Chains A and B, each alone.
Chain A
Amino acid sequence: MQLTVKLFATLRHNRFKAKIKEFDQGITVEQAIKVLDIPEEEVSLIMVNGILVQKEYVLKDGDTLALFPPIGGG
């Protein structure tokens, strides 16, 4: 299945900003992060289609997966 993957802030270093990539059907966010070769501890916030989710979330074809390191401000 195809996912749009977006990386932000420090997660972009030596990686990419946004890419459409192929993944195995029905994988979780946690598995996708492994496939992307991103150390799990670097990911603090996960959004799928603009909604915060946990790493156990099961992804669907066409989802936009956005990964963030710790973020704050105001």
Chain B
Amino acid sequence: MSSIWGKILRINLSTGEIKSEKVPADLSNKFIGGRGLAGKMLMEEIPAGINALSEENKIFFATGPLTGTTAPTGNRYMVVTKSPLNNVIASSNAGGFWGAELKFAGYDMLIVEGKAPEPVYIAIKDDSVQIKPAAHLWGKTTSIATEILLQEFGDPKARVAVIGPAGEHLSPIASIINDFCRAAGRSGVGAVMGAKNLKAIVVRGTQNVQVADPVKFKEAVRAAIKKIRENGVTGQGLPAYGTAILVNIINEAGILPTKNFQTGVFAEAENISGETLAEKYLKRKDPCYRCPIACGRHCEIDGLEGAGPEYETIWAFGSACGISDLKAIIHANTACNDIGVDTISAGSTIAAAMELYQRGIITNAELEDGPALTWGNAEAIVEWVKRMGDKQGFGSLLAQGSARLTAAYGAPDLSMSVKKLELPAYDPRGLMGHGLQYATSNRGGCHVRGYLISPEILGLPEPLDRFSLEGKAQWVKTFQDLTAAIDSSGLCLFSSFALGAEDYAALLAAATGIPYTTETLLKCGERCYNVERLFNLQEGYTAADDTLPKRLLEDPMPEGPTKGHVHPLDKLLPQYYAVRGWENGVPTPAKLKALGL
């Protein structure tokens, strides 16, 4: 008995073939599940150099051994595929209920291959799996499509993952939305579904996930829940204010990227803070499956209710665009979810467009009849997000993301991205470790591949001087490896504010019967990280791509507590490669051998 079913559902949309196959046991032991296992399998199954939007690409929906168990935050699944945004390995993580439901249906993983000749959706009820026509859903927003699908499926307990118009139009920043508001947001995974003519996956499962050692598992779950409840961050801060609690502290440190990273201080931060959100608009908390933290927000404005917004979204449509109107940000968030675009990339792309407008590179003539792209124009963020769902016009150009947008106007340095993926809400000029993490993240500019904000700003697990370079390379490696292991387990990264590697090892060991220790868990994470690196190298990426936008390397922060600093990446990168056992960004044969790769 194990919490891993050992079963993969594989669907080929070109041939219509549906089959169930076994998870290779040796791979499970080496890669845990989720992100690690799916990454390894993707690497083996697709040839290098393919077009991410072609039939040859495959898309993995991978749960972890703890998804769907009683472990706290056991609700995550990863979408793993080749990214149409930047051709690197995409692995987008989502919460809610869909991942657990796939597990209840008896599968660890769903792999979709090929391309349907017409729009379709996949309906799964335990062993009964069907490919159904979706012409009537094509063009519909994610919320409307979800409602129709739930009715058609005829079971209110079913769960839906769906793309919106942006995914259908192959926007490289398109997301997949499950349970109305949870997103596998980054890297354009929604466009891969769109390219396969796959509108949605509806799933309903009725099986209980078993564990290898129920007594030990119960003990480990109890201990983990206790730690989460007693921890100040997961027991008080996140439940009360959600992730938006970060707005004020990040601004106080002078690293809240403002006006497309032109500065790190936003004078009106208080208006878009977690405190203001809680005071004015919070209706209730909106937790994922089995989550005692409940950071999810449910807001009400103008009589309309909706999910979110998260910190990153508030930043991307707030200070990044010079906007202090929280209502407009909430509307933009809802529009992103409906259209099916990633909120970080969408907001950051509008911020880049606003800087192009500020510099006179984009003029009113190009904006059709749309709102002017002036800093602080609240109407602009809502309207332009809506138009990102258009097939043509300036909205569809915005839906290409900031790297393609700024390149089209001959100003690529104005894209605040790494490997074309837009940076999240922390200016690395005041965060030496976090900046190194951005530069070396395998999927591009990402904060959740190694959240160095924890030690550099939040003092967790111990405070580090955010301007010091000492030891940062090792911290980044350890955080990246542990995060890869957590992402592979099926738990939420936020659990790590309270839990340590030993807690994850205990939960996984009791659930699977595989004797995980802290050491083997981190080794699995490191293996995952190296496989992802190998994938990217195979796609032609080199050490030269491990970099940051020019502005952050060359232009000192103009004001505030971070004034005068740039990010000294050239000093940190060699140290990082050394602790990774990589030569100029490439894993050495000795390192690969040590990892059993």
Spell out A's residues near B (CB within 8 Å). Answer: 6, 8-10, 12, 17, 44-45, 47, 49-52, 66, 68-74
Contact B240–A71 (Cβ < 8 Å): no
Residue among A8, A66, A72 with the most chain B CB within 10 A?
Answer: A72
Other-chain contact of A73, B242, B252, B253, B275 (Cβ < 8 Å)? B242
Alpha-carbon distance A9/B252, docked complex (angstroms) = 14
Contact B233–A71 (Cβ < 8 Å): yes
With A17-B270, A70-B233, A74-B493 in contact, do A50 and B245 touch (Cβ < 8 Å)? no
Q: Is there a chain A Cβ closer than 8 Å to B458's Cβ?
A: yes
Contact A10–B236 (Cβ < 8 Å): yes
Q: Is there a chain A Cβ closer than 8 Å to B232's Cβ?
A: yes
- B-chain residues with CB within 8 Å of residue A45 when the two chains form the complex: 249, 458-459
Contact B453–A71 (Cβ < 8 Å): no
Residue among A66, A69, A71 with the most chain B CB within 10 A?
Answer: A71
Contact A73–B243 (Cβ < 8 Å): yes
Q: List 7 A-B contacts (CB under 8 A).
A: A50-B562, A68-B249, A69-B232, A70-B237, A72-B460, A74-B243, A74-B451
Main secondary structure, interface of B, reads helix
Count of A-B contacts judged by CB separation below 8 Å:
82
Query: B452-480, CB under 8 A of A: which get 1 and which 0?
Result: 01100111100100100000000000000
With A71-B245, A73-B242, A74-B448 in contact, do A50 and B295 touch (Cβ < 8 Å)? no
- B-chain residues with CB within 8 Å of residue A10 when the two chains form the complex: 236, 240
8 nearest A-B residue pairs (beta carbon): A50-B561, A70-B232, A73-B243, A72-B233, A73-B246, A72-B497, A70-B237, A70-B233
- B-chain residues with CB within 8 Å of residue A71 when the two chains form the complex: 233, 237, 245-246, 249, 458
Q: Is there a chain A Cβ closer than 8 Å to B244's Cβ?
A: yes
Contact B252–A74 (Cβ < 8 Å): no
Alpha-carbon distance A35/B43, docked complex (angstroms) = 60
What distance in Å separates the Cβ of B545 from its nearest Cβ neighbour in chain A? Answer: 24
Query: B220-249, CB under 8 A of A: which get 1 and which 0?
Result: 000000000001111011101111111011
Alpha-carbon distance A69/B236, docked complex (angstroms) = 9
* B interface, size bucket: 35 or more
Contact B245–A73 (Cβ < 8 Å): yes
Contact A72–B447 (Cβ < 8 Å): no
Alpha-carbon distance A44/B460, docked complex (angstroms) = 11
- A-chain residues with CB within 8 Å of residue B246 when the two chains form the complex: 71, 73-74
Alpha-carbon distance A69/B562, docked complex (angstroms) = 22
- B-chain residues with CB within 8 Å of residue A51 when the two chains form the complex: 253, 561
- A-chain residues with CB within 8 Å of residue B236 when the two chains form the complex: 10, 69-70
Q: Which residues in window 250-305 of B have CB below 8 A to A? A: 252-254, 270, 274-275, 295
Q: Is there a chain A Cβ closer than 8 Å to B494's Cβ?
A: yes
- B-chain residues with CB within 8 Å of residue A49 when the two chains form the complex: 561
What distance in Å separates the Cβ of B564 from its nearest Cβ neighbour in chain A? Answer: 13
- B-chain residues with CB within 8 Å of residue A44 when the two chains form the complex: 232, 459
Q: Is there a chain A Cβ closer than 8 Å to B311's Cβ?
A: yes
Contact B237–A47 (Cβ < 8 Å): no
Contact B463–A72 (Cβ < 8 Å): no
Alpha-carbon distance A49/B559, docked complex (angstroms) = 12
Chain B residue with Cβ nearest A49: B561
Contact B453–A74 (Cβ < 8 Å): yes
Q: Is there a chain A Cβ closer than 8 Å to B574's Cβ?
A: no
Alpha-carbon distance A71/B249, docked complex (angstroms) = 9
What distance in Å separates the Cβ of B402 from its nearest Cβ neighbour in chain A? Answer: 21
Contact A47–B249 (Cβ < 8 Å): yes
Contact A72–B252 (Cβ < 8 Å): no
Alpha-carbon distance A10/B231, docked complex (angstroms) = 15
Other-chain contact of A66, B252, B270, B463, B494 (Cβ < 8 Å)? B252
Contact A6–B252 (Cβ < 8 Å): yes
Alpha-carbon distance A11/B466, docked complex (angstroms) = 25
Contact A9–B459 (Cβ < 8 Å): no
- A-chain residues with CB within 8 Å of residue B312 when the two chains form the complex: 74
Q: Is there a chain A Cβ closer than 8 Å to B133's Cβ?
A: no
Query: B106-129, CB under 8 A of A: which get 1 and which 0?
Result: 000000000000000000000000
